[in-house]
Structure 1
Amino acid sequence: MTAPKTVAFLGLGVMGYPMAGHLVARGHRVAVYNRSAEKAARFAAQFSGASTAPTPRAAAAGADVIFACVGNDDDLRQVTIGAEGAFHGMKPGAVFVDHTTASAEVARELHARAKEMGLGFVDAPISGGQAGAEKGALTVMCGGEPEAFAEIEPVVAAYARACRLMGPPGSGQLTKMVNQICIAGLVQGLAEALDFATRAGLDGAAVIDLIKNGAAQSWQMENRHATMLAGEFDFGFAVEWMRKDLAICMAEARRNGASLPVTALIDQFYAEVERMGGKRWDTSSLIARLRGGA
């Protein structure tokens, strides 16, 4: 436990809403901002003691730590250095923690801007999905200066089961790229395996119940095989979000010289799923294209 702090949370989506809730539950004084003011008002009504703010700048005023979980690089710039961005309202020494999955480039850019203004900045993308956010069991991958990380780590513990500083600014985002590259390959492999099992006349669920005890085991296998077999995808991490993340990975690979042939191919498969109407389906919907539809 850490002593209660005054914090702000910007962005109350499927991840941010429960994360901010855990901060309230740990006794922190929380001000929230959301592009849709109605959702911020609903949060304040649900979590006693939380307050709302009309702008990121107003939410950040007086806060020790400001968290954000928004959509992309442009959204992040808007809530930090935009006309009413949080950086303009932060007190000297306050730390901004970005949970958005964004580029390493924007993380370095905003870290540099924050440093010029006497502020801290930690890029801290997350993994664990909506269920992990609701359970307070997220994995948080951080990049930044050790002093800023030490300041925010005990606060992040409200919703993290693992939180680690991976290196200088941008390192958190680079680690998240590794995470997404791994997931893409795992989901495609699982989709092919389940489709193969079904076509071979096997009981897919029984197969997974057995092989999950061996070397093939993964989180995706444990948590997604049943819904994949049932053709249920109306939940979870959306295909369009995954494509955004994979685009970031491939752009970074072009800069650092890494080869991502499997990742590029799976991105094309996700594009096919989108054309099937699956833009908002869970990423496990890769199996749908093997079956010719949902």
Structure 2
Amino acid sequence: MTAPDRRLLLVHAHPDDETIGTGATMARYVEEGAGVTLVTCTAGEMGEILVPELEHLAADREDKLGEHRRGEIADAMAALGVTDHRWLGGFGTYRDSGMQWHADGYAIAADTVHDNAFSAADLTKAANDLVQVVREVRPQVLVTYDEFGGYGHPDHIQAHRVAMYAAQLAAVPSYRPDLGEPWRIAKIYWSAMSESRMREGLRALRDAGDTTSFEGMDPDGPLPHFVTADEHLTAVVDGTAHAEQKMAAMRAYPTQITLDGPFFALSNNKGDSVWGEEFFRIVAGEPGPVGGDGLETDLFAGLDV
């Protein structure tokens, strides 16, 4: 089978992360015929369970949430049209590390972690698991998190480290030839949330009388760490035509995302653009041609593919 000319690799920490941040992008490139490969680093075993009748799956009870979320992500990928989904190192190799909230509103490591917690994994071993994928898929574009993992979750930070390190190792001709032929990824992006879009969305929520969604966030005040100043953004992918696919994929995660929660509230009050337009920062490679707002509109822009 011939590989698609354009190939995109995304590295995310837990099931649902990929949909929230990059779901519309994934759906758009699938429709355009690009190869879209998702690597998920853990099964999200330590996630909060929002469905009361499934609370028995929690880590401190039956500890079967990871297997359940395995089914959720399969449903989400079906909604987005993604057919190439992989678990880093194989399902269950790395476990969700868990987290707790710092008083300043960002995630930090939990007090105790499991023996095979992803955040404590050997960086070279985990990177090698991804090197093998990179050399097989041979993507021109890689998408992952920034160095803070968006909001500080230790698994997001580790996913960033693993993705960035694997991209370097995969390109070295003399490094681990047993993992495949060397491949240099032409462009690497970190996913981002536009400050101006977030403020617009919050303002729409507050104007509609919603004071509980994204509680504590002021449209005109300081915003959380996962929000990126617009001047640092490089690209925007317009996936508004696929916003309903993204919403369907989000609905595939009932243990993690509630239908009356902030994500859906924001969509209801702001329309498709709030979740259909997804933003990125380029960190390796050269930006291609830009649109009217000074941002690339295609992650493959400037590449000869």
TM-score by length of 1: 0.35
Whichever structure has more helix as a proportion of its residues is: 1
Report 1 or 2 for greater relative contact order, CA contacts < 8 Å, sequence distance ≥ 6: 2
**The structure with more radius of gyration:** 1
**What is the TM-score of this pair, normalised by structure 2?**
0.34
